[in-house]
Amino acid sequence: RHNLAYTGTTVATGEALGIVIATGMNTELGRIASLSQAAPNELSPLQHELRHIATYVTYGVVALSLVLLIIAIQADLAFKDALLFAVGFASSLIPQGLPAEVNTSLAQAAGKLSRAKALVKKLSAVETLGATHVICTDKTGTLTKNEMTVQELLIGATEYSVTGTGYEPIGKVCRDGKELGPSQVKALLEFIRVGLFASNARLLKPDKVNSQWRVLGDPTEAALMTLAAKVGLDNDSESTAMPEIRELTFDSARKRMTSIRAMRNSDTGAIAYVKGAPENVLEQSSHIMIDGVTRPLTQADRDAFLAVHTKRAKRALRNLAFATRPLSMREAKNGTIESVESGLTLLGMVSMIDPIRDAVPAAMKAAQEAHIKVNVVTGDFSLTAQAIARQAGLGDPDKDLVVITGEELALLPDEVVLRHALAGGTIFSRVNPEDKMRIVDLIKKSGHIVAVTGDGINDAPALRHANIGVAMGIAGTDVAKQAAEVILLDDSFSTMVGAIRQGRTIFVNIKKGVLSCFTSNAAELVVNVASLVLASMFGIPLAINVLQILAVDLLAELFPIAALGWDKEEGETMKQQPRDPKRHILNGRSIGDLLWCGLIIGGLSIVNYLLFFGRAGVDPASAHLPTDILYSATTITYVTIVICQLVNIIQRRSVHGFFSKYQLSNRNFWLSICLSFAIILSISYVPAVSDFFKSGPLSGLDWLFVIGAASIFLAIRELQRLLNVRTASSTAR
């Protein structure tokens, strides 16, 4: 597929005549776009969980409201009052604080991640990262710094080392640890010119804005430019002496690039300077130059060359082979790629290192301790990828990593590919976009959550198909960024692991909010059912009115539940298994706990309601019950529910209970508790507010009964927690 200009290519200069062979979705870019568009718009795990909760609540509210409406009518309430009561009760069962808590948690996490160099495009993606089971990560720029530095040379049969790091052109060429003299370096210049001429990158000197040497273009080519500068070759001077006639650009199929240059002081000859993957350049070579002498390439030469290539690749060095070929001027201008890049003279090999990012080994360890399976999916050579993965800490150090090439992947059945992907520690090398997408789809269909990193246009389909696509902010293309839900502004794997930690914390906070919301709903259910029973059997007025019920959900508990979104990580969340999307927050065990808490709070509230009449010395069933007494009685029910609910929220915040040090970690939460108390006092004592809610003031003795009820609830919950801890410890033994 040579001599093709793809859709989206920018022509910088010159002119050409072309034939359109494909348009629209039939182009290469269109093919990739169609793969991306084929990905369905699916709900995130959090959205699935919230939908599950909404379904439970909807059916439950409708059923219970109808039952209570019938009971209210049977209790001789007027139909209008009974209907109003049922509607108010239905409203009370809807967890109004939950949306605020969820959005607060996600927004807070997005803000934290932004400051930590991770830009979240879709809020629910933060929690999805926390649920990740498998990560398919790229190698270059994600695990590594994407800052290539030439470290070793193979020229003919002689090996050299190169000092210096980064793009600063300071360093020496050494042999056996000794620096080469000027005359020795001069003998290497023709070899180094290959990398200089067959590169389009540029080195940028430090300036007022940037204090470091920088690269404009491909990092691999920048490393070759840096090598040339270290031995004194100037790109402008060399290009003036040997101007470029034609360039045969790099192609992923042939894996070579050639720059055809006019010979020095000659109008009739040219030289093709070729760089590329060692296997591919070696395949096109017929001769080899050793110590300045060119001779036919033997099988022994090929074996020796490949042995050095393999040895260096195992040390995470990226290798490029250099070759040349003299050309006539006619062939230089009109020769085909096949003819120009055949019969080459092999000069040797450069080996460069892309160092591992400093934070990657620790991040890899954290990910694996969090029981997340990590795989490397790359287009690079398998041995290089394997060496980098080892340096990053991937897999068990006592076991070999599984390496599957793109060719091998095409022959493997789906179940085998899935088994390796779910096991983690697998390197998929030399893969194409379809391969990457296949791996992602297999993991998703198995019910696991998969996160994928990518930076190129070819990565867009996999980014779209993954549960969570993570694009690179520095090296990433616009297409990749558009396909992803999260963008790593520093391109670092460690930033992604930090986002996973934040995602896990978010789900814990949301779980606290959900269970806290439904605890008060369960308490209100108990109070309302008990009130209807008392009304129908003894003629006692309802223990709480509709406005007070709404005041519990929309005012008193709303702010503390929303403030749970600011809760920090407690304990070792990154030592736990990723959550199973099939295990819901509302399950048999949690619903039983909610009903138990609701029964305690509701029962204590009803007891306080009835005891209030005893202290006031009035009969609650009297037809002449004073209004102010009734208002204060319903107020003590309301206040008991709210105070017990605040105790419940605090107790649920920490796995270590009400008196944990963790309780002091969220300043906003305690400010919201103070706000809730202000609301309670306003509803009880501010005339205009109490008139609206049909509430009344409470005495000091009444408050003692409220505090007593809350203390009883707290004692029961703490005792239950201690019993659960003891049971868990016994089971662990």
CATH of the domain at 721: 1.20.1110.10
Does residue 155 share a domain with residue 138? no
CA distances from 512 to 308, 676, 684 (A): 58, 18, 28
Task: Say whether both 277 and 256 belong to one domain.
Answer: yes
**Domain range for 175:** 149-353
Q: Within a domain: residue 91? A: yes
Asked if residue 281 belongs to a domain, the reply is: yes
**DSSP of 164-227, one letter per residue?**
--TT-----EEETTEEPPHHHHHTTHHHHHHHHHT---EEE---SS--S-EEES-HHHHHHHHH
Distances (CA, A) of 446 to 50, 377, 440, 568: 22, 19, 10, 32
Report, as an integer, the average pLDDT of 685-700.
95
pLDDT in tens, 113-170: 888 899 998 888 888 888 999 999 988 878 888 788 999 999 999 999 999 888 889 9
Do 225 and 333 fall within a single domain? yes
Paired tokens of 334:
């009109």
CA dist., res. 318 & res. 491, Å (int): 20
Q: Computed from CA positions of residues 25, 28, 31, 35, in that sequence, does the dihedral angle turn out positive or negative?
A: negative
Mean pLDDT for the stretch of residues 396-401: 84
Q: How many CA atoms lie within 13 A of 213 on its CB side?
A: 18
Q: How many domains does the chain have?
A: 4
109 domain-assigned = no
Q: Are residues 515 and 480 in the same domain?
A: no
If one compares 637 and 728, the residue with the highest pLDDT of the two is 637
Q: Is the pLDDT of residue 345 over 80?
A: yes
Asked, for residue 110, whether it belongs to a domain, the answer is no
Q: What average pLDDT does range 336-365 have in this prediction?
A: 92
Q: Is residue 261 part of a domain?
A: yes
Cα 613 to Cα 607: distance, rounded to the nearest angstrom = 10
- pLDDT in the model for residue 733: 60
- Whether residue 578 is contained in a domain is answered as no
Pair of tokens at residue 718: 């703490």
Q: Based on the domain organization, do 479 and 524 belong to the same domain? A: no
Residues 595 and 698 in one domain: yes
90 or 486, higher pLDDT = 486
Q: How large is the C-alpha radius of gyration of the chain? A: 36
Contact between residue 73 and residue 79 where contact means Cβ atoms under 8 Å apart? yes
Q: Which of 322, 353, 384 is the C-terminal boundary of a domain?
A: 353
Give the per-residue pLDDT at 376: 94
In a domain, residue 622? The reply is yes
Mean pLDDT of 89-108: 78
Query: Pairing relation of β-strands 426-429 and 256-262?
Result: unpaired
What is the phi-psi region of residue 119: left when phi exceeds 0, alpha when psi lies from -120 to 50, beta otherwise?
beta
Any idea what the CATH number is for the domain that residue 244 is in? 3.40.1110.10
* 415 and 563 share one domain: no
Regarding whether 95 and 207 lie in a shared domain, the answer is no
Considering 353, 377, 396, which residue would you say is the last residue of a domain?
353
- Do residue 320 and residue 209 come from a single domain? yes
Q: Average of pLDDT values for 654-676?
A: 93
- Mean pLDDT for all residues in the chain: 89
Question: Do 308 and 403 fall into the same domain?
Answer: no
For residue 323, the model assigns a pLDDT of 97
Question: Taking 80 as the threshold, does the pLDDT of residue 414 lie above it?
Answer: yes
Q: Which residues contact 613 (CB under 8 A, 6 or more apart)?
A: 619, 620, 629, 633
Say whether both 366 and 263 belong to one domain.
no
Give the pLDDT of residue 45.
82
Q: Is 202 a residue whose pLDDT tops 70?
A: yes
Of 353, 383, 416, which residue sits at a domain end? 353
Per annotation, catalytic residue among 76, 81, 138, 593? 138
The amino acid present at 379, given as its one-letter code, is: G
CB neighbour list of residue 326: distance below 8 Å, 6 or more residues apart: 263, 269, 270, 271, 272
Amino acid type, 712: I
Note if 138 is an active site residue: yes
Distance of CA 542 to the CA centre of its chain: 51
Q: Which pLDDT tens digit goes with each residue over 364-374?
A: 999 999 999 99
Which of 314, 218, 221 is CA-nearest to residue 273? Answer: 221
Residue 540 domain-assigned (yes or no): yes
Band the pLDDT of 12: cuts 50, 70, 90: low
* β 134-137/244-251 pair status: unpaired
Q: Is residue 176 located within the same domain as residue 188?
A: yes
Question: Would you say residue 39 has pLDDT above 70?
Answer: no
Question: Taking 90 as the threshold, does the pLDDT of residue 535 lie above it?
Answer: no
**pLDDT score recorded for residue 30:** 76
pLDDT at 357 over 90: no
